[in-house]
């Protein structure tokens, strides 16, 4: 059976239920080809108590989009488990509360459109039916909106939408391959947050921006604020958009 995509509205009932009693439990984690967003990396490295450098080195592989030149971070499969996620166990996900957005969304696909005039985001959803998953067709009594709330995916989506805005700007203003220092800066500010923080405070990376002391004190301790600043810095470096 081929994959099917069934469009859904927020008030439609979810005909899907995933739990440890399903015969396919963990199967979706055992044939992995999964990209990680900057916010995914932030949450996972915090959950594991690792620096961004150590997490990226231990659990991920880096390559660059052949046409865009943008860094792409993917889970590096566990060598002892074939193509399985390196963080899955027989009991399930070992980082469940901080699992990536794509894991939270499954089996939903989400797309967005952004108004150029207002910046307002419109969301679109579809159910992806895959042959290995036995959770389909099981009514769980929840609407799509209720199910999404239960997955605590809003913060991930909000952070990931900021990334998509940068990528959209890049495709529109700078079509073609991002190379050299620009690609390195993108990786540094969005994925390798601890190295980005070190460059800010030990090598005065942002000295030309005259950031208020309150912001500097916040990003010294707060990874989410640092990532938000990193996105603004990349927009400044690539497109000349003022950091506010």
Model confidence over 184-230: pLDDT tens digits? 999 999 999 999 999 999 999 999 999 999 999 999 999 999 999 99
State the pTM of this model: 0.91
Q: Are residues 88 and 187 in the same domain?
A: no
Q: Do 83 and 182 lie in a common domain?
A: no
Distance CA 63, CA 70 (A): 8
Spatial contact of 134 and 200, defined as CB atoms under 8 Å apart: no
Q: 3-state class of 236 per DSSP?
A: helix
Residue 125 lies in a domain: yes
Neighbours of 95 (CB within 10 A): 17
Does residue 15 lie in a domain region? Answer: yes
61 and 109 assigned to the same domain: yes
212 and 147 within one domain: no
121 and 32 in one domain?
A: yes
pLDDT tens-digit readout, 39-68: 999 999 999 999 999 999 999 999 999 999
Range of 52's domain? 4-159
Is the confidence at residue 142, as pLDDT, over 90? no
Question: Do residues 126 and 222 both lie within one domain?
Answer: no
Backbone angles phi, psi at 107, to 5 degrees: -100, 30
Does residue 171 contact residue 68 with C-beta atoms inside 8 Å? yes
Do residues 37 and 87 both lie within one domain?
yes
- Express as a percent the part of the chain with pLDDT over 70: 96
94 and 200: one domain?
A: no
Q: Tell me if 165 is assigned to some domain.
A: no
- Nearest partner of 219 among 194, 187, 182, judged by Cα: 194
């Amino acid at each position: 059976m081929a994959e099917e995509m069934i469009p859904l509205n927020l008030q439609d009932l979810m005909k899907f239920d995933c739990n440890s009693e399903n015969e396919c439990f963990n199967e979706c984690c055992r044939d992995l080809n999964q990209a990680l967003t900057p916010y995914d990396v932030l949450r996972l490295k915090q959950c594991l108590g690792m620096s961004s450098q150590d997490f990226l080195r231990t659990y991920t592989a880096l390559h660059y989009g052949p046409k865009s030149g943008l860094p792409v971070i993917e889970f590096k499969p566990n060598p002892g488990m074939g193509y399985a996620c390196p963080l899955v166990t027989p009991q399930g996900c070992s980082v469940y509360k901080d699992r990536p957005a794509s894991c939270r969304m499954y089996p939903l696909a989400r797309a967005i459109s952004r108004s150029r005039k207002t910046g307002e985001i419109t969301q679109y959803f579809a159910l992806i039916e895959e042959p290995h998953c036995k959770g389909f067709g099981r009514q769980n009594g929840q609407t799509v909106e209720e199910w999404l709330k239960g997955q605590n995916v809003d913060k991930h989506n909000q952070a990931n939408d900021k990334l998509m805005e940068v990528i959209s700007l890049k495709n529109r203003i700078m079509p073609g391959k991002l190379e050299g220092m620009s690609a390195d800066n993108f990786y540094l500010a969005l994925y390798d947050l601890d190295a980005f923080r070190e460059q800010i405070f030990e090598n005065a990376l942002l000295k030309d921006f005259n950031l208020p002391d309150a912001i500097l004190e916040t990003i010294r301790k707060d990874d989410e604020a640092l990532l938000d600043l990193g996105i603004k810095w990349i927009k400044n470096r690539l497109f000349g958009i003022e950091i506010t």
